[in-house]
Amino acid sequence: MTDRPPEIHEQRILGTELLWAVGVGVLVAATLSVVVFTALSRDINPPSNVERIDPKTLHLSGEFAEHNLGTTVGPDGRVTARMIATQFMFVPRCIAVPSGRAVTLRFASPDVIHGLLITRTNVNTMVVPGFVAQVHTEFTRDEDLLMPCHEYCGLGHSEMWATVQVMPDDRFKPGPDGRVSCAQR
Ligand code: CUA
C-alpha cells in the first residue's frame, strides 16, 4: 500500500472493475450474436428434442427393444434409424441409410452419457440417459462413415464406435418388414 489517500486507491479499483465488466459484456454480446446469427442465417441450432424415456426399461419393450433397432422405412417412406449407445458399444454396430433422402436418427442410452458424431457430416449429439437424442439429416455421398463415441463414458470409451453405411437410393431396398440392414462388404 502506498501513502496515497484511500479515495484515490478506491477509484483505481473501480476503474479496473469497470474495464473488466465492459470486456466481459462485449464477449457475452459477441457470443450471443454469433448464436443468433447462425441460427437465423445458416439454420444451425443445438439439438433441442426433449423426449423422455426410462433408461431402466428401454431394452424391454417399445421402440428401443432389440427387434426395433436399426433402420426402418415407414409406410410413408420415412427413413428412421434407431440405435442404443451403451458401455461400450453401439447396438447395432452398423446402420444402413440412403443417400439423398431425409433420415431421422434416434438414440437412447441405458447407462451413462455418451455422445456421437458422424465423420464428414454435421451429425453431432450427446446421448443422455432418460432422453431420446434425435437428429434429422441427409447423407450426400455413398460411403461408409465412422461414428465414434465422443463423450468419455468409461474405460472402453475409445473402443466404442459404429459404422454408417450410406447406400445409393436404388440399392436401399427395405425387406417385407420395412427393415434395411448393412450389406457385407
Ligand atoms: Cu460411449 Cu464414450
3-state helix, strand, coil in the chain (%, to 5): 25, 30, 45
User: Is the Cα dihedral 63, 136, 133, 116 positive or negative?
Assistant: positive
User: Which residues sit with their C-beta closer than 6 Å to ligand 1?
Assistant: 85, 114, 149, 151-153, 157, 160
Domain segments of the chain as ranges: 1-45, 66-180
Give, using CA atoms, the residue closest to atom 1 of ligand 1. Answer: 114
From the CA of 86, give the closest atom in ligand 1: 1
From the CA of 151, give the closest atom in ligand 1: 2
Domain 66-180: CATH superfamily is: Cupredoxins -  blue copper proteins (2.60.40.420)
The position carrying cell 473488466 is 20
* pLDDT band, very low/low/confident/very high, at 27 (cuts 50, 70, 90): very high
Task: Provide the residue type at 52 as one letter.
Answer: R
Taking only the tens place, the pLDDT of each residue in 48-106 is: 667 899 999 988 888 999 999 999 998 888 999 999 999 999 999 999 999 999 999 99
* pTM to 2 decimal places: 0.76
d(CA 87, CA 62): 21
